[in-house]
């Protein structure tokens, strides 16, 4: 499928075995380009040798720049080191940065591509479910700051996305479940029929095969449509952040310790909080809240603050993180709320006192 952005349009290739033809595909789109492959140590151990063999067969020169696995690699020191390594390798503006990994690697590598030589070509080869259905599409890149997640970065669209669903066969169960939260998000924010399809086909998605490929494709198409309509998140694209305002605050609250909480788990809890808060405001029936909770728990995802191991900080800390959210405008809180399944909307000027009271209650449950 294609993300339609005029001169910045690009293809997303989806299916089992897509990676095996990556060399030919890349050389056809970026002739004579050299690559800096940014990956993490886990992906390098599992898949890098086969991937490099394909690049060698296509005559594509490349260097490999591994980083530690985990959210903490999205930092200034790692970003600086990668920029310097790309320059030391003498890659030129006409060469490309290739992200070979999950969402952390994609966000980090994309920011390097946006920054070095004021912008280099960028290729995404996502290796996790979360990255294939969400972070690899749309051009959001960046790193974290002490003040919050993804607060430093740039919009920089890839030239190509290769989503090989066979790579998901080696993904740990926890990481697959976490990525599934982003799949569910697309149904909940604007496609009730897709959520109904997931209710019927969830087990097939987890087993692999045709259902998994369809879930990835439908998720990518949903995101591509939104990005094409609002590339720089001026309006409709904010809907893609359903569950993320709460979720990012929770990730910051555990200091990005992934043994306690990974991104998709934060999104799952955040989605549940968004539905419960919307119900608290009288926007939707409790029946919809229960239906969403049943589906998420059935997928093995956390839905309550108490599902996060260890003690959480007091509500003031969570509110400070929420106040740093990228959707905040002129100091007013903005949340993605819902009027029902598939009926998300952007609500500006949400009362902080109402959010605080809601979170104080949830922290005691």
Q: Pull the structure tokens for residue 206.
A: 């987890």
Average pLDDT for 113-121:
98
User: Is 106 one of the annotated binding-site residues?
Assistant: yes
Distance, CA of 123 to CA of 66 (rounded, Å): 16
Percent of the chain with pLDDT over 70: 100
Instruction: Tell me the C-alpha distance between 94 and 61, whole Å.
Output: 13
pLDDT, residue 110, reads 98
Q: Does the annotation count 237 as an active-site position?
A: yes
pLDDT bin (cut points 50, 70, 90) of residue 208 is very high
Annotation-wise, does 42 bind a ligand? Answer: no
* Residue 160 backbone phi and psi in degrees, to 5: -165, 145
> Binding site annotation covers 257?
no
Mean pLDDT of the chain: 96
pLDDT of residue 234: 83
| Structure confidence at residue 148 as a pLDDT band (50, 70, 90) | confident
Q: What is the pLDDT of residues 278-333, one digit of tens each?
A: 999 999 999 999 999 999 999 999 999 999 999 999 999 999 999 988 777 878 99
pLDDT at 209 (0 to 100):
85
Fold for 173-363, please state it. Dehydroquinate synthase-like, alpha domain (1.20.1090)
Q: Which of 62, 74, 185, 237 is catalytic?
A: 237
53-80: pLDDT as tens digits: 999 999 999 999 999 999 999 999 999 9
10 Å CB burial of residue 64 (0-12, 13-18, 19+) is middle
How far is the C-alpha of 235 from the C-alpha of 345, rounded, in Å?
10
Give the contacts of 5 (CB within 8 A, at least 6 positions apart): 157, 227, 228, 231
Q: Give the mean model confidence (pLDDT) for residues 35-64.
A: 97
244 contacts 344 by C-beta, under 8 angstroms: no
Domains 2-170 and 173-363 share a fold: no
Residue 140 counted as an annotated binding residue: yes
DSSP 218-258: HHHHHHHHHHHH-TT-SSGGGGGGTTHHHHHHHHHHTTT-T
Query: Residues 32-56: what's their mean pLDDT?
Result: 97
Catalytic residue check, 47:
no
Which candidate in 52, 202, 212, 248 is catalytic? 248
Is 263 tagged catalytic? yes
241 catalytic? Reply is yes
Residue in this structure with the two tokens 């886990």, named with its chain if needed: 42
pTM > 0.85: yes
72 is a catalytic site residue: no
Query: Which pLDDT score is estimated for 330?
Result: 79
Indicate the pLDDT class of residue 147, thresholds 50, 70 and 90. confident
- Tell me the pLDDT band of 353, cut-offs 50, 70 and 90: very high
Which entry of 52, 150, 241, 295 is annotated as an active-site residue? 241
Whether residue 153 is annotated as binding a ligand: the answer is: no
Phi, psi of 155 (to 5 degrees): -85, 120
* 212 is an active site residue: no
Q: Where are the beta strands (DSSP E) in the chain?
A: 2-3, 10-15, 35-40, 62-67, 96-101, 121-126, 140-145, 148-155, 160-164, 333-338, 344-350
Distance CA 84, CA 77 (A): 11
For residue 331, the model assigns a pLDDT of 82
In this predicted structure, the answer to whether residue 184 has a pLDDT above a threshold of 80 is yes
Instruction: Write the pLDDT tens digit of every residue in 224-272.
Output: 999 999 999 888 999 999 999 999 999 999 999 999 999 999 999 999 9
- Please answer whether residues 171 and 205 qualify as being in contact, where contact means their C-beta atoms are separated by less than 8 angstroms: no
Domain boundaries, the chain: 2-170, 173-363
Sign of CA dihedral 70, 225, 119, 152: negative
- pLDDT bracket for residue 129 (50, 70, 90): very high
Average pLDDT over residues 133-155: 95
| 326 has catalytic annotation | no
Q: Confirm or deny that 362 is annotated as ligand binding.
A: no
- Which CATH entry fits the domain spanning 2-170: 3.40.50.1970, 3.90.1150.10, 3.40.50.10190, 3.30.300.130? 3.40.50.1970
Residue 160 has pLDDT above 80, yes or no: yes
Contact by Cβ (8 Å): 258, 70: yes
pLDDT digits (tens, 9 = 90+) for 83-101: 999 999 999 999 999 999 9
244 noted as active-site residue: yes
* Set 47, 62, 140, 218: catalytic member: 140
Q: What's the confidence (pLDDT) of residue 302? A: 98
Q: Is 196 a catalytic residue?
A: no
The answer to whether the annotation marks 263 as part of a ligand binding site is: yes
52 catalytically annotated: no
Select from 184, 226, 231, 232 the least CA-distant residue to 205.
Answer: 184
Average pLDDT of the segment spanning 341-351: 96
């Amino acid at each position: 499928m294609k993300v339609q952005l005029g001169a910045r349009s690009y293809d997303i290739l989806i299916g089992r075995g897509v990676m095996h033809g990556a060399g030919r595909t890349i050389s056809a789109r970026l002739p004579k380009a050299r690559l800096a492959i940014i990956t993490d140590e886990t992906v390098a151990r599992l898949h890098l040798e086969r991937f490099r063999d394909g690049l060698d067969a296509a005559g594509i020169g490349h260097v490999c720049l591994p980083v530690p696995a985990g959210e903490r690699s999205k930092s200034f020191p790692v970003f600086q080191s990668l920029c310097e390594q790309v320059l030391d390798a003498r890659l030129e503006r006409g060469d490309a940065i290739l992200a070979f990994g999950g969402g952390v690697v994609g966000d980090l590598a994309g920011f390097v591509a946006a920054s070095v030589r004021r912008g280099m070509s960028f290729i995404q080869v996502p290796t996790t479910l979360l990255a294939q259905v969400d972070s690899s599409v749309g051009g959001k890149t960046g790193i974290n700051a002490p003040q919050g997640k993804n607060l430093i970065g740039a919009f920089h669209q890839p030239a190509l996305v290769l989503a090989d669903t066979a790579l998901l066969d080696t993904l740990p169960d926890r990481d697959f479940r976490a990525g599934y939260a982003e799949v569910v998000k697309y149904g909940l924010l604007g496609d009730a029929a897709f959520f109904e399809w997931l209710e019927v086909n969830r087990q097939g998605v987890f087993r692999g095969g045709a259902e998994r490929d369809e879930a990835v494709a439908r998720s990518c198409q949903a995101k591509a449509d939104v990005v094409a309509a609002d590339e720089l998140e001026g309006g409709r694209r904010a809907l893609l952040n359903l569950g993320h305002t709460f979720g990012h605050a929770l990730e910051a609250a555990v200091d990005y310790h992934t043994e306690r909480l990974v991104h998709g788990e934060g999104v799952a809890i955040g989605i549940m909080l968004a539905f419960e808060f919307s119900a608290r405001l009288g926007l939707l029936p409790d029946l919809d809240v229960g239906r969403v909770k049943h589906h998420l728990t059935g997928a093995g995802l956390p839905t309550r603050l108490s599902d996060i191991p260890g003690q959480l900080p007091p509500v003031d800390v969570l509110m400070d993180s929420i106040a740093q959210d990228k959707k905040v405008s002129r100091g007013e809180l903005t949340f993605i709320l819902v009027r029902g399944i598939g009926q998300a909307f952007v609500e500006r000027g949400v009362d902080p006192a109402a959010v605080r009271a809601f979170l104080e209650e949830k922290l005691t449950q």
